[in-house]
Chain A
Amino acid sequence: MVERVAQREARKKTKTSFIDCDIHNIVPSVDVLEPYLPARWRKHVETFGMRQHHGFASGIPYPKASPGGGSRVDAWPPSGLPPGADLDFMREQHLDVQNIEYGILNCLYPKVGELLNEELGAALARATNDWQIVEWLEKEPRLRASIVVPYENAEFSAAEIDRVADHPGFVQVVLLPRTKEPLGKRRYWKIYEAAERHGLPIGIHFAGLGGNPITSSGWPSFYIEDHTVMAQAFQSQVISLVYEGIFERFPDLRVVLMEGGFAWLPSLMWRLDKHWKRLREEVPFLKRPPSEYIRKHMWATTQPMEEPTNPKHLLQVIEHLGSDDMLMFSTDYPHWDYDNPDRAFPVRLPDALKRKIFSENARALYRFEGETRVSG
């Protein structure tokens, strides 16, 4: 195979392998789920479609930066499949070139958690997870995956986690951040109970339209707003998970914030701590300051990398986190806001910190080798 100069140069630079905590595989069409999806639901999708919280037959209200669900323009496989649907091309363009030790797949399509019909969502979740096992996990030893669940129904979600969690390829459960209610609310607790029981982190990944306007003041006009204010959805979820006492109730639960940014996390920790001090009698079940729960129970992937005007400020923000163990590198391949591992950080990181971010923090959190999942 003829190589492009750019690819050779890329491999030369990336000498060390790393763990990519966010790669996207997608189901290119419901047809590929045929071996895994009962005929009753295939027929349902053909007849009634997959109805979500918007009015489009197949589009979305905020057109993304590019086609293919917002993919890199150069990530369309020659096979004709959409970006993220072709394992061979993913190997060629990403896994091999970047020298990836492990990659964690987060499958965002079909959007099983956003379907108005929760039973359809559950059926599609089962089918997608089975498809992930056969078409991805069993074919590519470097890949791991998140269990997709219809998170607006905690019982269905818990059942699905119980069904597949023992497969060593699954290292996480994935939800989206724009939910019907704040994720700390009781209706979601069974998901956390199941995840904790199986020793799996909950990953919350950027995307979606969950039924509420995407800001507390309604619907903005532009995609740049949709993308930028997704960070506020993440922040709202952190607030809820902490103040609802999720980490007291599920002391072994770990949560990963994926693709929401991380530079806002210190100021949010400070704000949560400050007002908890004054108003703590409303949440008497919290035994510690919020920032302690966050440092102990939460992680964040690095993409989209923060780009302060002065790159040194990024090092300040990482210090402000108060923990070197929280950040984990991710590329978000094949999406448009992808981070190139060689170029993403605008400053040079101290070696020990760099190793943590590019490998060790993820290795400590996720069971890549199918180790026995023990709570805690």
Chain B
Amino acid sequence: MIRESASSTGQGHDKGVLIDCDVHNALPSIEVLYPHLSDHWRDYIVERGVGNLEPNYYPAGAPLSARPGAVPPSGGPPGSDLDLLRGQLLDSWDVEYAILNCLYGVQLVHNEDWAAAMARAVNDWQVAEWLDKEPRLRASIVVPTQNPEMAAEEIERLGDHPGFVQALLLVRTEMPLGKRHYWPIYEAAERHNLVIGIHAGGSPGNPITPVGWPSHYLEDYVSLAQAFQSQLVSLVSEGVFAKFPGLRAVLIEGGFTWLPSLMWRFDKNWKGLRGEVAWVDRLPSEIIHEHVRLTIQPVDEPPNQEYLLQTMEQIGSEEMLLFSTDYPHWHFDEREDALPVELPPELERKILVENARALYGI
């Protein structure tokens, strides 16, 4: 349970109670990027009536998209107002650090050069408007996954900036994330000691489920769990962690209660099918324990705490879960529902703080 009181470590009041590993900053409008874009790209945007690159992952009116009070009075989208973020989250929850994942849709366009320019602009805007203004924030480098070489260049450009702890990828991509096509991204991230953050979303053109296009947003959102599972299988099967042994990946906003059953199936298959992927030299679950973390929202909780505890235990590691609120998305009503289970204090502390500290080095 998340305690309302200040730091439980007794180490002083400058350390918060938790590290929030999934917070969304949003652009008030495309115009905030203009100072960070060349004249050429600025005119391109205006003259073609681009409007914005807001993705449809969270329909503006849907209840899940914004918790009550998260729409800024200033009029921008939820997550676009730093003061509101402080008030609703950083201060009121006693957050030590929050990791920003900006979902502005630079990955959605097919023009790779434009995508790269927009990614650069978004990252420069993140530095100026978020990292430089609020010391509790860290952020993910937004990269144009359409072109892994260009994505690697952006990681090179910003990888040493202390505010960036992660390179952001989306869970729905053109091809499975383990494929060698994407390896330049992992090589650059590993070299800069950046985590790979794989976040819910993405719409590169493939049907959004393995069985085609569903009718409803509800199906789209729920199906993200299936996308996470096949990406995890890809990363391990393709030997990404064999090739890049220093790399770690976080699965963000996919839930976690599906993880044990996936590992069991994957392990079982590996025992017989190992020979085709011989670089997977131990049980996939061992590789996952070592290299993969998951943020907890949405907690797809069972009808009782006992089942949730059992599922967490089935994961087989206390180091894998990272606390998140997924602000401003609305997954829980009361604060204590963010982590809706009574845990032993040591495990709770790992989930709230220590696992993230170890992962991000913060």
Interface residues of chain A, those whose CB is within 8 Å of chain B, are: 65, 177-185, 210, 212-225, 227-229, 231-233, 235-237, 239-240, 243-244, 261, 263-264, 266-268, 270-272, 274-276, 278-279, 281-283, 304, 306-310, 313, 316-317, 319-320, 322, 336-337
Contact = CB atoms under 8 A, between A and B. Distances in A.
B219 A224 contact: no
B88 to A, nearest CB: 18
Nearest to A237: B211
B301 interface: yes
B260 A313 contact: yes
A240 B213 contact: no
B320 to A, nearest CB: 15
A224 B270 contact: yes
A216 B206 contact: yes
For the complex of A and B, list the 5 residue pairs with the smallest distance between their C-beta atoms, beginning with the closest. Answer: A263-B261, A271-B300, A215-B230, A267-B257, A232-B226
Contacts of A274: 298-301, 331
A182 B171 CA distance: 20
Nearest to A307: B268
A281 B63 CA distance: 10
B262 to A, nearest CB: 7
Interface stretch (B11-19, B98-106, B309-317): B309-317
Contacts of B223: 216, 236, 239
A271 B225 contact: yes
A223 B255 CA distance: 26
12 contacts: A212-B207, A215-B176, A215-B231, A216-B207, A217-B234, A222-B237, A227-B273, A239-B214, A243-B216, A263-B260, A307-B268, A337-B272
B210 A236 contact: yes
Interface in B280-316: 285, 298-303, 307, 310-311, 314, 316
A316 B314 CA distance: 10
A280 to B, nearest CB: 8
B212 A182 contact: yes
Contact of A283 (B204, B216, B299): B216
B272 A65 contact: yes
Contacts of A182: 209, 211-215, 219
A264 B206 CA distance: 24
A279 B65 CA distance: 10
Contacts of A228: 233, 262, 265-266, 269
A282 B234 contact: no
Contact of A218 (B174, B273, B314, B316): B174
Nearest to B300: A271
Nearest to B314: A313
Interface string B52-65: 00000000001110
A309 B208 CA distance: 32
B211 A177 contact: yes
B261 A317 contact: yes
Contacts of A313: 260, 310, 314
A204 B353 CA distance: 44
Contact of B174 (A217, A220, A225): A217
Contacts of A244: 215-216
B114 interface: no
Contacts of B311: 267, 320
Q: Which of A213, A219, A270 has the largest count of B CB atoms less than 10 A from its CB?
A: A270
Contacts of B62: 279, 282
Contact of B261 (A227, A229, A306): A306
Given A225-B237, A266-B302, A282-B218, A236 B211 contact: yes
Contacts of B213: 181-182
Q: Which of A65, A223, A228, A268 has the largest count of B CB atoms less than 10 A from its CB?
A: A228
A283 B277 CA distance: 42
Contacts of B208: 216
Interface in B66-89: none
Contact of A224 (B204, B237, B257, B302): B237
B276 interface: yes
A223 B276 contact: yes
B225 A278 contact: no
Given A225-B233, A316-B307, 6 more contacts: A220-B176, A228-B269, A243-B216, A243-B218, A268-B258, A279-B217
Contacts of A179: 211-212
Contact of B255 (A65, A240, A271, A276): A271
A186 to B, nearest CB: 9
A239 B226 CA distance: 10
B286 to A, nearest CB: 10
A283 B307 CA distance: 28
B25 interface: no
B179 interface: yes
Contacts of A221: 176, 178-179, 237-238
Contacts of B300: 267, 270-271, 274
A240 B261 contact: no
B298 A275 contact: yes
Given A217-B227, A220-B237, A180 B212 contact: yes
Contacts of A220: 176, 178-179, 230, 233-234, 237
B134 to A, nearest CB: 29
Contacts of A183: 211
Contacts of B331: 274, 278
A216 B230 contact: yes
B302 A306 contact: no
B230 A276 contact: no
A239 B260 CA distance: 20
A235 B63 CA distance: 24
A337 B273 CA distance: 11
A243 B227 contact: no
B173 interface: yes
Given A212-B210, A316-B314, A218 B175 contact: yes
Q: Which of A181, A184, A218, A317 has the largest count of B CB atoms less than 10 A from its CB?
A: A218
